[in-house]
Amino acid sequence: MSVPVVAVTRQIPSPGIAPLEEAGFVVRYREVDAACPADELTELAAPAAGLFCLLSERVDAALLDAAPNLRIVANMAVGYDNIDVAACVERGVMVTNTPDVLTDATADLTWALLLAAARRIGEGERLTRTGRWSGWRPGELLGTGLGGKTLGIFGMGKIGSAVARRAVGFEMDVIYHNRRPVPGATAGYVSLEELLTRSDVIVLNAPSTPETRHVIDAAALATMKPTALLVNTARGPLVDEAALVAALQGGVIAGAGLDVYEAEPVIHPGLLELDNVVLAPHLGSATHEARAAMVQLACDNLVAVLSGQQPLTPVISLR
């Protein structure tokens, strides 16, 4: 039997491709620290039985047709909206992701943005770094306290639940909206309408699907409290960015913290001009620990499938 070829679409952090080499695969490693353009991806994946890809690469029917030996697409991300899963299933190609190992890192980053937005950390940083700070003033950059306020979580999966657990320490009341109520959830299930109207802070932790696209649009923003904050560490398309800019400009809501954008890496120019939004460059899982575990899990999935075993974390069953 010939040795399987595994294509790795871009430079990955430690442990890198070591687990794939140890498994004896022929590794086609595009060791470039940038997204792989579609034509290069087609060329890279053509002879591969396994594809190690990231959220920056689009895996569609055309790519799958150009790689007829492909048996597994291992995405190094928990979200997999970059992959046409139906096209993979049609061709018998397994799709895996990297859940669990990034839950805490992403929940922490959600809180970092929430706190930064609530306490106006971005504005404060800009003030101090630009030499415009003239000393302590009792009315300077007043933010909002969180104790006793209501945190509304849209998407009560593993990350949403981890965000909720952290809210206990901040003494916030937690409510959530999900496709369906989550058994055993400690927070109260509410309709989307109630989540929007009652929450002082709304965090988005749901996957990007046709159903969640623009769940936060102009109408939803108008339903929120004028003092409310919005935090998105899920995927950009959940929010209508143009509507958010208008809402932040017009005082429809008070502020936002964003880690993800509709057309990454492009950011709506209106957001860049606003002081009441904290902007991070898609850092949800960006800790040494989480990224190493994501690389290892994606490699473990490749090794399992290419040696005839079940993957550890399939996104869908092929049977």
The residues of the shown chain that bind ligand GLV, judged by CB under 6 A, are 55, 77-79, 102, 284-285
Burial 193-204 (b: 16+ CB within 10 A, else e): eebbebbbbbbb
Number of residues assigned to the chain = 319
Contacts of 17 (CB under 8 A, 6+ apart): 8, 27, 29, 299
DSSP symbol at 238: G
CB of 234 to ligand GLV, least distance (A): 8
Return the number of other C-beta atoms located less than 10 Å from residue 265's C-beta: 9
Residues identified as active-site: 235, 264, 282
**CA-based radius of gyration for the chain:** 21
In the bound complex, what is the minimum distance in angstroms from residue 110's beta carbon to ligand GLV?
A: 12
Closest distance of CB 220 from ligand GLV, Å: 22
Smallest distance from ligand GLV to CB 252, Å: 27
- Alpha-carbon gap, residue 81 to 235, rounded angstroms: 9
Q: Where do we find the tokens 């960006």?
A: 286
Distance CA 115, CA 278 (A): 10
